[in-house]
Structures are given as C-alpha cells and as structure tokens.
Amino acid sequence: MPRSLLAALLFIAVGSSAQVKTPWPESLILTPEKSAFEKTSTYGEVMQFINSIKGMSPNIQVSTIGKSPMGKEIPLVILSKNSISTPEQAKAAGKMVVYVQGNIHAGEVEGKEAVMMLMRDILLGKLGYLLDNQVILFVPIYNTDGNDKMAKGLRPTQENSPLETGERENGQGLDLNRDGIKMEAPETQGLIENLVNAWDPQMSVDLHTTNGTWHAFSLTWAPSYLYAGEPSTYHYTNDVILASITKKAKEKYGLLFGPYGDFNIREGWPLKNFYTYNHHPRYIINQFGLRNRMAILSEAFAHERFYQRIHSTYAFTFEILDYCNKHAKEIMKINHDADAAVVRNVLEHAGAAKKGVRFKMVPAKQKLNGFPTYDYNAFTRADGSTSWVRTGRIVHYDSVTYYGEFKDTVQSTLPRGYIIPAEFSLIAEQLRRQGVKMMVLDRDQTFSGETFTIDKFSKASRKFEGHFMASAEGRFQPATRIFHRGDYKVDLAQPLSNLAFYMLEPQSDDGLLVWNFFDTYLEGQQVNTKPVEYPIFKYFPAESVEKSKIKSKK
C-alpha cells in the first residue's frame, strides 16, 4: 500500500472515528476522506454536508452572510447550546462569539475541510463542551466562486496534493484578502456588515496555506498586528494565546508551530532573517486590531501532504477554540477594556497625541532559536556565480532575526473628529459600512482644527487589485472653517476610532486616499499641477485649539 494512502487511512481512523462511539453517517464523510485525500470538496459538497448535519443536532443553525458575484450563498454555520441564531440572542446570552473562516483563497483548501471536521466533532462527537462558554461561527467556504474553478497546477507549491484546487480570486477576479478597506467584493461587504459588525466576534481566525517557503514548521501563525491599534489585544494574542498553543502543539501532537514569515535565499545561507507580511488593514485579520478585537492568521505548510495540512489546521483551530472556551470572560474583558481605552484616549488627548499613519517592518526584540528549515547547499554555476539548491535535510538555526513588528515612520495628530462635506457622501457611506458612527449636522457650525494641503500626489504605475495606488505628501496647517447643514461629523470618541483615523488620514499607508476614493475630486482640482487642500477637515477640542494659539504666539 502506498505510504500516503496508509497515512490518509490512519488519519481517518484516528482523527475521526475515535471521536465518536458510533460511525458517522455516510453523508458526513468528506470528499478528501472518500478520495484518499486526492480531492477537495466542491461548493455543492460543502452545502450537502451542512444540510445533512443540520438535521442531526439541536445545536446548529444555518444562515448566510450574503451572495457571491456568481450568486452563490455564502453559508454561515452557527453552533451554540442555546439555539442561538441572531447576534441579539448571542448578546443576551452573554456568550463570547468566535469566528472561524476557511477558503478565502480557494486554492488553500485545508481550512474548509478542517472546519467541517470540527463541526462534525462538536455536534456529534466528543467536543460538544466547546459550546459551554462560546458561540462559534463557521464560514467554511468564504470564496464560493473561486472554489469550483478547479484545475491542476494552481497551487504548485502544494505539489498536486490535492490533485486539483480552486483559484485564489473570487468571481470578480479580486483577492478577498486585500479587500478589507475598499470593500469592493460582495463577500467582503457581507462579512463586514452581516458578521463583523452584527455579531462582533471577540476572536476571529482566518485559515490559509503558505505560498511555498521551505521552512519546516507544520503551521505558522500571526496575530492581528500592532501598528495603530490598542496594544492589549495584540499582546494577549501573541504573548499568551499563541505562546500557549505553540507549546501545547509540540507536547500534545508533536507538531512544530511558529510565527508566520518568509526568508530570502538570496540573502545567503544559513538564513539570518525571517520576514512576516504587511501590517495593512486591507488584510482582514490585521483590521481586527483597529477594531479592538483579537484575531489569528493560520498558515499550514504548503509542502506537506494534504492530509497533514488538514491535521495541523484542525489541531490549531481546535486549540484556539479550546482556549477561548476556557478563557472567554478574560478575553471579553480585555477587548471591552480596549474599547474604553480608545475612547478615553480621544477624550483626554485629542489635539495633542500623535499616532502613526505609515509604518515599516522592524526586527522583534527576541530572536528565533531552534528555527526549523530545510537546508540549502551552495554550488557554482558555469558563469562563476554562486547559487543555492535545497536539500531534503531539516536543520535548526539559532539567532534568526524575526522581522515581525512595525514602527511608525510618519505620524499625525489625533483629532477629536473629522468633518466630511456633504458632497463626499460616498466617503461617509464607506465609513458607515465599516461600522463607524457619525452624525449629520442639522445647522451651520464653526470648527477649529487642521487642514492638509497636498503638495505632491503620486499614483503607482501598475495596477494592484484593479487600483493605481495613490499617496500624498504635504503639510498640516491650523484652520477654522464653517461647515453646513448636511455635512457629516465623525466624533472619534467611539470604539472604532482607530479604524476611522486610519481610513481618513491623508498620509495613511492603507487609507481611502490610497484606494483612489479621492482621485476624481483631487484630479478635478488639478492636484498634479498645484497644491490642493484635502477635503476632509480635522477638528480639535476647544481647549487644545486655545493651547495651540497660545503656543504659536510665544
């Protein structure tokens, strides 16, 4: 018997049937299990599984977060011991809400299968206790359109395991994991409006597979990165939850988990540096940090076999759910306190405090020791240059610098809020869809604060996700302006203050200006030939304006 098939059968025997006293019904056996892990589930097969299992337990409700561009319902599976089917019921029950998402990139299919296995084991197996203190929201197949565009070779680093996968993009050709700010995909709109804003998950988990770096971790992870958000949620996720799960994974499963990243062989060997990914809130996991919530990115190791990647993803997700179930009140309190800290910072320091709007990746203080990786050997090419070839040998290196933190390179003053002129209603609507609260002025009012004059407006020469990314350089100046009835006022004394700040600041590295929301106006004002005032006004508390006047007189 081929070794891969034997391992697959062992996975089924140990990982599934050991969870229950009686066999699963045939309708709950997944496509990978039926195909010796050569195939992954289609959209229809996922829906068949959900429709089968929902009649087998009182602890499951099935809903949707919306429809894909091709008209497919994106299933939302709600697990609870209280027959909870709405956010209002979850809030009334006082239960923590945890969200787990699979298949945002439809070639990275392990999360989709692991989520269904977890549903099976929670509802019909021995993991029902995971619903004692939490409501679990599962979206096993987020990218419904990309999932069924299956073909060979779409994920070459997965080495035809499974034989065919779906594609990365959705039905519009968009990468859903770059859409967190612009919200152009109906999947993103449904996720943010119908799940994130409605259910307010205290922990969110996004399940992926790496693109191919030959480290030797079975799975790597990242928290919602700390850049412009509150530090408490980041530190608890990174220093407590992920540290605990990483230790347990090695002791309990013999699995090596570690921080997410890539290395570049062109820097030489042995490796000295390991780099994470960008901090930008376009990535949905990173946006949760601006929302004062905890979130975790999961990246299975591309070069392991399909069944191994499912196993690692299942184990990691289970341990997160187990931790959240045991520490639900603690997590909810940390998040609640972060909400309060954001509001307090605005009330006490608006007009004086500075916050980062652009960031660079910097080394973490602690280096990585015992870093597992496949080894490389040097060889000399015919032209005399040196190159590297990977071996099949796993080695461990110490003192690897991990570029896993971010430091601001540009700061801006935290205002009390922003005024958005009525003619920029699309900007106001974009903030509203993200959950930011605002009011409409019912009379003319005078505000003092700052304007930003754009001296240089630049756009990328190549498209990224359908956009020529923009940036602005310029200067802030004190100003007083009269605004009118119908204009929008965004008071930052609210929990989503950090998100609104990051979206509206003109020099933000992932704000609305970057995503071309102001192009029509700015180019109409001939920003490429003369200085133009950014149309969003920052207003300050009256006391800070008076202090600024006194300081300028001195």
Q: What are phi and psi of 467, to 5 degrees?
A: -125, 145
State the pTM of this model: 0.93
Does the bond joining 259 to the residue before it have cis omega, within 30 degrees of 0? no
CA 10/CA 5 separation, integer angstroms: 9
pLDDT < 50: residue spans in the chain:
1, 3-7, 9-20, 546, 548, 550, 552-554
A 10 A CB-CB count for 266 gives 8
Question: Which tens digits make up the pLDDT trace of 355-387?
Answer: 999 999 999 999 999 999 999 999 999 999 999
Tell me the C-alpha to C-alpha distance, in Å, between residue 87 and each of 91, 92, 189, 233: 6, 9, 17, 22
Please check whether the domain covering 3-260+287-345 is classified as CATH 3.40.50.300. no
3-state secondary structure of 284: helix
pLDDT of residue 417: 98
Residues 6+ apart with CB under 8 A from 43: 72, 141, 144, 147, 148
* CB-facing half-sphere around the CA of 389: CA atoms within 13 A: 6
The b-or-e profile of 121-136 (16+ CB within 10 A means b, else e) is: bbbbbebeebbebbbb
Q: What ranges do the domains of the chain cover?
A: 3-260+287-345, 414-553
The b-or-e profile of 154-184 (16+ CB within 10 A means b, else e) is: bbeebeebbbbbbbbbbbbebbbbbbbbbbb
CA 141/CA 42 separation, integer angstroms: 9
A 10 A CB-CB count for 345 gives 18
**Is the sign of the CA dihedral 75, 81, 82, 88 positive or negative?**
negative
pLDDT of residue 212: 87
Question: Which tens digits make up the pLDDT trace of 263-322?
Answer: 999 999 999 999 999 999 999 999 999 999 999 999 999 999 999 999 999 999 999 999
pLDDT of residue 13: 45
The residue assigned the tokens 């993103």 is 188
